[in-house]
Chain A
Amino acid sequence: MSSDESFLQDVVAALHRVGLEAIVVGTVAGVLNGAPVMTQDLDLLVRDTPKNREKIGKLSAALQIAPPVQVSELSKAITLLGGALPIDILFDALPGGLTFEALRSRSSRVQIGDSAATVAALADVIASKQAAGRPKDLAQLPILRQTERVRAALKGGKSV
């Protein structure tokens, strides 16, 4: 297991320990769906409730990293710093009107070590990046779309 996979395993295990329901989204979700892409952080989507805010505090303690900080006044997203890599926590929905519930309904469970992560579907990763429209998101779209097509071809013998 690489250090990247170990980091992911530690975070997923900590999510389970504190009872925080989170969906892995963004580029790491692309990776867990098989795409050959790289990123600098881990994005998690959770529902914005007082209880979950409390659990996020417990998550940072469980990971022995700094308490959550809000990095921009333009967004209510928060970041956990001080670990091997930053963890961005997004609330309720992703760009493109992708709600937590909708993403969860299409998500898959991916085993990472002893714990399973809830991972957004590749189609949702693509839709969110397209809607976000930032250069770094748009740059990944071609390889993500190709991965989706190749995966479909592998499964069903026909490309999408």
Chain B
Amino acid sequence: MTDIVALQSEILAAVAGAADEAALEALRVAALGKKGSVSALLATMGSLSPDERKVQGPKFNGLKDAVTEAIAARKAALADMALDARLASEKLDVTLPALPQNSGTVHPISQVLEEVVAIFADLGFGVAEGPDVEFDDYNFTKLNIPPDHPARQMQDTFYVAPQADGSSHVLRTHTSPVQVRTMLNTKPPIRIISPGRTYRVDSDATHSPMFHQVEALVVDEAIHLGHLKWTVEQFCKAFFEIDQIELRARPSFFPFTEPSLEWDMRCDRSVPGKITFGSGNDWLELGGSGMVHRKVLENCGIDSSKYQGFAFGFGLDRMAMLKYGMPDIRSFFESDLRWLKHYGFAALDIPTLDGGLSQ
């Protein structure tokens, strides 16, 4: 029946040309509505013979399906066109600046302390802390530094004004009083580090009246100098993240250790303003150490005939300066925003042993 073919091509052509959804809807009503042209054709089915129906039925249904499908397709196409047009009108200049968000930073001291803690935690060292204002007894006397010992001149001490109860205290000159507190309060075996702020009446290009130390203390039954050497070596290797560092221990003196030794690291300072580790003819002082003095153990209630131990202490600021090439300790505490942003660490740059201490 040529009617069906003609009708179909006529309707499909109109659908394809429909300009918007309203026109399409009108076409749908005109074709598939109750009084539509396709519906009218379908209505003639009833008057056909069963044989004719068998032949014409599928053709009629084919027409209806084709029209329905074409309308749906055109509808989708029109929707896409409309969306495209809207999106085109919504264009923004992506080069305009977004609302500013300040980049926060973590101070190098905090970062380096986390690095140090990560290393020592792996070696089984806890982290002990104590107050900045200390008893003279803990800062000096228990550490085998009696009041008139010349060693007191090694550390220029800040004194706090006398208190209401007549007592008088100091700003700790090292974090060793934390070791004292630990030994007084725990039974060996002891493995701790004690990081924190320390104070000395000293201020010049290489000294700040406030600085930071980290000390380590191990007390057990058979600890000797060889363990001290190993621990310092392992720590330095892990901290500086250099395989070929070369350390030197030399005999020294501290009232609280016997034997006492100081640690230097080989470096090259032949290029002004630059320091390279692992080679060169210079030595850089890292810090002091030694076997805990028998009197210190006894002063802190530890049986020195049974236990022996070692301790060492390094300047945290110095470690940070060396590792990250910061030239002046005083700038650590000046809070110059430019410095904080330049040397500070990203908020989520968290040092770990698995991910690496520094990135």
Pairing of A with B: no
